[in-house]
Amino acid sequence: MIKINNVSMRFNLGIEKNFSLKLFFINLFKHKNKEPKKEFWALKNINFEVKKGEVVGFVGCNGAGKSTLLKIVAGVMKPTKGSVEKYGNICPMIELGAGFDMDLTARENIYLNGAILGYSKDFINEKFDAIVKFSELEDFLDVPVRNFSSGMVTRLAFSVATIVEPEILIVDEVLSVGDIAFKQKSEQKMKSMIKGGTTVLFVSHDIRQIRELCNTVIWLENGMVKMQGEANQVCNEYEAYMLNR
């Protein structure tokens, strides 16, 4: 179960510009009367609740705040205001292969990436063969990942990330990776994970997938919930809106 209470997220724009050694020391000595910074509210007062086993899709144009919202739920960012309540272990599939070290072999990376995702050693030992089998990279286990093609890297990453059965699954546009054959396989895997009773938060620009997989859809627009409700209904409205823009 996930509960989002009044979450707002503020970013300061132009942080890079305003930050220099000189300003650092100036600001050190004058805490007050700082210049007002340019602010950008990526999320404004978001409220919703996801029940156990529910599959929630998020739609909205680029920059609407979908990924920021998922990162807040995953615990990567802390909201400026509001709070997030979540129960159960989370498997964030926000970007695959983030923890790979290109100098290590596939075998070593499975352990490293598994550890980063919070798996225990015994768990990885137990699932190692399954991971390798799914990735179909048996022949390249002791090759440094540096020499892999990008498709092979994502296949490995996908296989490591999806080996768990998490209670909460966060998916940001990673439904299908690799060549056509692996694409089908990974889509099947994702679908079986999603249908397997886990709670899913799912961001995609593919409305077909959203309709197919989600019970509820939340439509974000400029950091606010524009519409929320039954999947087909929201998707119809969203598509009509996007086409008439």
Partner 1 sequence: MYINNILSSLKKYKFLMNQLISRDFKVKYKRSILGVLWSLLYPILTMTVMALVFSNIFKFSTPGVNYLVYLLTGLVMFNYFNEASNLAMSSVVANFSLINKIYIPKYIFPISKCLFVGINFLLTLIPLYIIIFITGTPLNIYHLLLPYSFVCLFIFTVGMGLILSSISVFLRDMFYIYGVVMTLWMYITPIMYDIKMISEELQIFFKLNPLYHYINFARRIILYNEIPTPFTFVICAVTAIITLLIGVIIFKKSQDKFIYYI
Which residues of the shown chain bind partner 1 in the complex (CB under 8 A)?
11-12, 15, 19, 21, 24, 74-78, 90, 92, 94-95, 98-99, 101, 103-104, 108, 111-112, 115-118, 120-121
Could you tell me which of 47, 32, 70 has the C-alpha nearest to residue 170?
Answer: 70
What CA–CA distance (Å, rounded) separates 237 from 133? 42
CA angle 65–10–17, rounded 5-degree value: 105
- Residue partners of 80: CB distance under 8 A and separation at least 6: 8, 9, 10
Minimum CB distance to partner 1 smaller for 11 or for 41: 11
Q: Which of 119, 219 has the CB closer to partner 1?
A: 119
Q: How far is the CB of 2 from partner 1 (least distance, A)?
A: 15
To partner 1, the closest distance from the beta carbon of 43 in angstroms equals 14
CB of 54 to partner 1, least distance (A): 22
Q: Closest CB to partner 1 among 120 and 232?
A: 120
- Decide whether 12 or 233 has the Cβ nearer to partner 1: 12
User: Which of 22, 208 has the CB closer to partner 1?
Assistant: 22
CB of 226 to partner 1, least distance (A): 26
Give me the residues paired with residue 9 across strands. Answer: 43
Q: How far is the CB of 8 from partner 1 (least distance, A)?
A: 15
Distance of alpha carbon 168 from alpha carbon 134, whole angstroms: 22
In whole angstroms, give the CA distance from residue 169 to residue 22: 44
Between strands 168-172 and 2-12, the pairing is unpaired
